[in-house]
Amino acid sequence: MASLVLKNLTKKFGNFTAVDNINLEVNNGEMVALLGGSGCGKTTTLRMIAGFTDQYEGSIQVDGREMNHIPAYKRNMGVFFQNYALFPHMNTFDNIAFGLKMQKLPKGIIKEKVQNILELVKMTGMEKRHPRELSGGQQQRVALARALVTEPTVLLLDEPLSNLDAKLRVEMQLEIKRIQRELGITTIIVTHDQEEAVSLADRVVVMNAGEILQVGKPREVFDRPANMFVADFMGFSNFISGKVKNADGSMVRVICSEKELIINEMNSAGFTPGDSITMSIRPENIVLADKNSENALTGTVKSVTYKGTITRVEINDIFAETVFVNIHDYEGYEVGDEITVAFPSQKLIIYKNLLN
């Protein structure tokens, strides 16, 4: 159990800056997700914390102790690898006991600890199996047990759920959360899946091109992305440009393609009439409505895609941009039909355009 501090952390590979001046504090027992697309620097950051990557700038501190010149094998961090990295020549017991043997603990204690951790990950009775005799989910549990059994100060999870099928993923998500809570271990989880990040972590760090774009509680990041990049990454697929008409109290009135909309915005003082803006909303937050509802606008259906639990509808002729809408109980509308949808003022977010 420990706190983790990253200060001005920078890693360059030749001319390429993989991680660019990152600052982050992780509290004792907290679970933080590093979220970003491939090449955003999240895995490099994790590898630096683990000590696999040397020659970086800045500092990594665990409980105030500088880690920079401490090799990986003396850092006491539990690492869960994306491909599990189980030792293929050892059975489950030996894989989990490896770290304990390195600590030169007595055999009896090793046995007891392995038994306890196997119980925690629900793998009791599998001691003699080799990794190749285990299913993906089982291998993952063993990898998690192996990373946890040495009681590391920090647990690092690299894309822990990416190799699992959808059903197992949900199950393991709950499992990882349960185990992390039970042990109260400080955890960093690296993922490219926004849903995984917001459901697992206490705080989410959104990264792009080696930089941190936003740090916040899952709800904040999910509902109030700090900028358009984060919004796009968090699933706001509608970006509609317009101008501010007026800003008043917690409301901003905007004109987009000659249509007037009201947006609920706490920082309305930041906007002045005439500002060029982009407003954004999730496809699932746009609703079918009648013409007198707030922010209700009418357009024509361009295409309809049935996706099982939702139906994705593309609507033209409201704004210059096509509007994407996800509707749960979709019926009736065909391509070319007129359709009226509302953009709830609470769900709309706006960003000032930087270029003008």
Partner 1 sequence: MSDNRIGWLSKIITIFVFMFLLAPLVVIILASFSPTPLVVFPPKGFSLKWYGNIFTSSTNFSSGFINSIEVAVIATAIDVLLGVTAALSVSRYQFKGRELLISFFTSPMYVPSIAFAFVLLQVFSQIGSFPGMLKILLGHMIIIMPYIVRNTLSVLSGFDWTLEDAAASLGASPVKTFSKVTLPLIKPGVVAGAMLSFLYSFDEAVLSSLLSSPKFVTLPIRIMNYMEFSFDPTLAAISTVLILMSLLLIILLEKFIGLDMFLSN
Q: Minimal CA–CA distance to 21: which of 59, 61, 52? A: 59
Tokens of 173: 């998500």
Q: Considering beta carbons, is residue 51 or 218 the nearer one to partner 1? A: 51
Q: Quote the least distance from Cβ 46 to partner 1, whole Å.
A: 11
Q: Quote the least distance from Cβ 87 to partner 1, whole Å.
A: 6
Angle at CA of residue 213, ends 256 and 176, nearest 5°: 115
Residues near partner 1 (CB under 8 A): 50-52, 71-79, 81, 83, 85-89, 98-99, 102-103, 146-147, 150
Q: Considering beta carbons, is residue 103 or 272 the nearer one to partner 1? A: 103
Q: Quote the least distance from Cβ 144 to partner 1, whole Å.
A: 13
Q: Quote the least distance from Cβ 320 to partner 1, whole Å.
A: 49
Q: Considering beta carbons, is residue 39 or 71 the nearer one to partner 1? A: 71
Q: Considering beta carbons, is residue 64 or 88 the nearer one to partner 1? A: 88
Beta strands in the chain (DSSP E): 4-13, 16-26, 31-35, 57-62, 65-66, 77-80, 154-158, 186-191, 203-208, 211-216, 238-248, 251-256, 259-264, 276-281, 287-288, 296-306, 311-316, 323-327, 338-342, 349-352
Q: Quote the least distance from Cβ 116 to partner 1, whole Å.
A: 17
Q: Considering beta carbons, is residue 55 or 356 the nearer one to partner 1? A: 55
Q: Considering beta carbons, is residue 41 or 131 the nearer one to partner 1? A: 131
Q: Considering beta carbons, is residue 72 or 170 the nearer one to partner 1? A: 72
What DSSP line would sit under 198-230, residue for residue?
HHH-SEEEEEETTEEEEEE-HHHHHHS-SSHHH
Residue whose entry in the numeric block shows the structure tokens 């285990």: 134
Neighbours of 135 (CB within 10 A): 10
Tokens of 39: 């090449």
Q: Quote the least distance from Cβ 192 to partner 1, whole Å.
A: 18
Tokens of 168: 């197992």
Q: How far apart are CA 113 and CA 128, in angstroms?
A: 16
User: Which helix (H) or strand (E) is 182 found in, with range?
Assistant: helix 166-183
Q: Quote the least distance from Cβ 110 to partner 1, whole Å.
A: 13
